[in-house]
Structure 1
Amino acid sequence: MFNNSSKILFMMIMIIGVLITVSSNSWLGAWMGLEINLLSFIPLMSDSSNNSMSTESSLKYFLTQALASTVLLFSSIILMLNNNLNMEICNSFISVIILSTLLMKSGAAPFHFWFPNMMEGLTWMNALMLMTLQKIAPLTLISYLNANNFLMVSVILSVIIGAIGGLNQTSLRKLMAFSSINHLGWMLNSLMISESIWLIYFIFYSFMTFILIFMFNMHKMFHLNQLFSWFMVSKSFKFTLFFNFLSLGGLPPFLGFLPKWLVIQQLTFCSQYSMLMILMMSTLITLFFYLRICYSAFMLNYYENNWIYFVKFNKFNTNLFLILTFFSTFGLIFISLFFFML
């Protein structure tokens, strides 16, 4: 088990790896940053109270990322040789291979097979880093490539698989994993439109994901039946939970609708109505299973189990969560009023 100073050191190295990848001007430097990021994240994954599942998840993550890194390095070398020696190798084919490795690193469909099962063995803090911080470097490298046709296929598969995969899930970590895949499809689509819209979407998605995972980690929740049991403990917890769920799903007038609003507006300007229809239908499916959970919580009586006990939580954490929930719930209204006044 690592102490807190060691964990902070690994997190700093992980952030340095992301910065090296983002600021690199060659594929070799980007690969080096990805490897630094990988080797600093694996000790954080394996250092967990659930030793068997965390070790299995760290091994799955290492094998998947090592495979993607090997193919990325090989493709980068071929691409550099092709540019320097004028070899008769199609650059677009190499770009598709590089894009596939980056999609595998980020967990996008159709290379998402490792992501939900690996999320099941992580702690909430590691899951938060995997769904937010670990996606910055691959998505930044994807923006450098010109393979929009293959990227569009990945967008469609990501939003569909992310929406359908979360329908019958009872594990909160797998539910968040499929939600991340769905949002990743939206982010890839925004990346095809404008990098500024992608950055806005990623910031808002990270904020909403942080609120939910902060709450799950504070209450030590991992399954849906734990949520229903806690409704007997706190009524305010019930409302704040599902306000954040609906905000993450993108339901207006919550804050989570704002980044999707920007993507919908740009797709309308570009007359990409078929892609817009697919994205909106996937969001409706996502909102369906969120609202189904909400309906069960608000409309049905759920009696307290014998093993439920009351815990006195940190007042600072509770107040911080309520403040973040307030911004997640009413943030869109304040932002709209601000731009209306301008």
Structure 2
Amino acid sequence: MLNHPTRLLFYLTLTTGTLISVSSTSWLGAWLGLEINLLSFIPLMSNLNNQFATEAALKYFLTQALASSILLFGALAFSLSSQATFSSMASPSTLNAVITSSLLLKMGAAPFHFWFPGVMEGLDWLNSLILMTWQKVAPLMLASYLWAPGAFAFTIIVACIGIGSIGGINQTSLRRIMAYSSINHMGWLLSAALLGETYWLVYFGFYTLLSTALILLFHTHQLTHMNQLFGLPLSSPLLKLAFFCNLLSLGGLPPFLGFLPKWIIIQGLVAQAFYPLVTIMVLLTMGTLYFYLRMGYAAFVLTHSTPKWSPFNPLSPSLQAPTLGLLSISLLGLIFVPLFFPSL
């Protein structure tokens, strides 16, 4: 996909738009970077051979255009709020909520998540990975400037984790499951943003690593629905072990590496005395672990037959090394944490 010069150009401008947003010193510059990022991602999403991709690109464009217009309105209103005639119309806290809501809409956080699962459903796995990871960097960075403990922030965090947990339970499409998983992780990312920039960057790094490992396997074997997991070849134990360990690690099961970022955030929130928030977050996250376990347990334990003919190719030698490396990190990473984080 990277051998086409047009796609290389769009990937370059996609990266440039995000870098402009996170390095801008004004809201107008941040808005400009977000627009460059949007106009670069739309052609990457579109596919003339797939009407669902074109529909997803249209949904994404309309939603992002609405969010951009609200962001621009909020930024302009914020710059005018120092005037006496305007300050009586809207308080700074209200304008902060308007700007933050537009950024939450851009990143697909609940309760502004209505477009996210539908757009994910129409994309291929590579574009889905970009939407789940890179496209969240700029809105998260900008939202962290205005993000502060309060009723608004706590409501958004609980809504993200709750909707992400409940929404994925009844799904059979792997893309929708990953979409609701991403919404759930958004709640943890936003709670990490309450503690500081380092916290959410660490969590985002782990989330990106685990999501990339999982989507690499989905993309390699062209998996789209849960019933395809039952047909994974038993002759490739490395594939099944890598898939399910990364799945449970993304869910935050304690023996795996994915538990580390949640552990760090829980420790930080407890140190700030946010006890009710931590309790609700941990309880609601059990929903995501449930549907991860449902995917893993049903396909790994209850399937005994090995078909003579299978549409899945065995894991190629070129993918064995990265798959084994990602599996080793996911399995053994938590063991070496005390060497790098003695305070934990």
The bucket for the TM-score relative to the shorter chain is: over 0.9
Hey, what does 1:61 align to over in structure 2?
Answer: 60
TM-score, normalised by the number of residues in structure 1: 0.94
Contact 2:44 2:127 in 1 (8 A): yes
RMSD value, Cα: 2.0
Contact 2:192 2:265 in 1 (8 A): yes
Q: After TM superposition, give the deviation of residue 227 of structure 1 in Å.
A: 1.4
Q: After TM superposition, give the deviation of residue 318 of structure 1 in Å.
A: 2.3
Question: 1:198 and 1:166, CA in 2 relative to 1: closer, same or farther beyond 3 A?
Answer: same
Hey, what does 1:123 align to over in structure 2?
Answer: 124
Count, aligned residues: 341
Q: Match for 2:163: what amino acid?
A: I
Q: 5+ unaligned residues in a row in structure 1: which ranges?
A: none
Hey, what does 1:333 align to over in structure 2?
Answer: 335
**Deviations for 1:246-274, whole angstroms, at most 9, x for unmatched residues?**
10001112110111001110111112111
Q: After TM superposition, give the deviation of residue 94 of structure 1 in Å.
A: 1.0
Hey, what does 1:77 align to over in structure 2?
Answer: 76
Pair 1:24 & 2:24 matched: yes
Task: Judge which range, 89-98 or 254-263, deviates more.
Answer: 89-98
Q: Which runs of 4+ in 1 moved over 4 A?
A: 304-307
Separation in 2, partners of 1:304, 1:168: 27
Hey, what does 1:162 align to over in structure 2?
Answer: 164
Match of residue 203, structure 1, among 199, 202, 205: 205
Hey, what does 2:152 align to over in structure 1?
Answer: 150
Question: 1:310 and 1:293, CA in 2 relative to 1: closer, same or farther beyond 3 A?
Answer: closer
Percent identity over paired residues: 50
Q: Match for 2:292: what amino acid?
A: Y
Hey, what does 2:5 align to over in structure 1?
Answer: 5
Contact 1:228 1:302 in 2 (8 A): no
Match of residue 295, structure 2, among 289, 293, 296: 293
Q: Match for 1:45: what amino acid?
A: M
Hey, what does 2:113 align to over in structure 1?
Answer: 112
TM-score, normalised by the number of residues in structure 2: 0.94
Pair 1:97 & 2:60 matched: no
Task: Judge which range, 137-146 or 228-237, deviates more.
Answer: 228-237
Q: Matches of residues 208-227 of structure 1 in structure 2 within 5 Å?
A: 208-227=210-229
Q: Match for 1:31: what amino acid?
A: W
Q: Match for 2:303: what amino acid?
A: N
Separation in 1, partners of 2:147, 2:314: 53
Separation in 2, partners of 1:166, 1:340: 36
SS in 1 for 2:82: helix
Contact 2:15 2:37 in 1 (8 A): yes
Q: Match for 1:294: what amino acid?
A: G
Contact 1:96 1:147 in 2 (8 A): no
Contact 2:110 2:183 in 1 (8 A): yes
SS in 1 for 2:169: coil
**Deviations for 1:224-265, whole angstroms, at most 9, x for unmatched residues?**
111110143423322211100110001112110111001110
Q: After TM superposition, give the deviation of residue 209 of structure 1 in Å.
A: 0.4
Q: After TM superposition, give the deviation of residue 2 of structure 1 in Å.
A: 9.2
Q: 5+ unaligned residues in a row in structure 2: which ranges?
A: none
Contact 1:48 1:123 in 2 (8 A): no
Contact 2:147 2:194 in 1 (8 A): no
Question: 1:339 and 1:157, CA in 2 relative to 1: closer, same or farther beyond 3 A?
Answer: closer
